Structure 1
Amino acid sequence: GKPVAQDWEKYNEIVNNGKSPKDALDELGYNRACCRRMFLSNVELIDRIAKFKNFKK
């Protein structure tokens, strides 16, 4: 496999500027389906998780 996390912010920037996810991945050089799926199937959960308080036992 190939690490892909270093390009997550750049991918989001490209997509948010109007390009399609396909074009963004092509621009970043991700040609293999296994790499592309990491971007296309990612779900950002941090905003949902951050709403909950931390409870100490």
Structure 2
Amino acid sequence: MPDFETMYFQLAAKVADVLDILLKAQQEGEREFVSEEPVPGLKVLPIRDENRDSE
């Protein structure tokens, strides 16, 4: 019979590794975006928080 506990922990470890890779990729992309010269005509729009606006 397969050792499901070991399989589960191996899967959880791999998922954690993938999340670390994705987080690092996001941070690198954000760092590159912030360090570049501004694009003419680019506007930063505020994100509307519907929960705060309805109060």
TM-score between both structures, scaled by the size of structure 1: 0.27
Structure number with the higher helix fraction is 2
Q: Which is greater in Rg? A: 2
Q: Which has the higher contact order (CA 8 A, sep 6+)?
A: 1
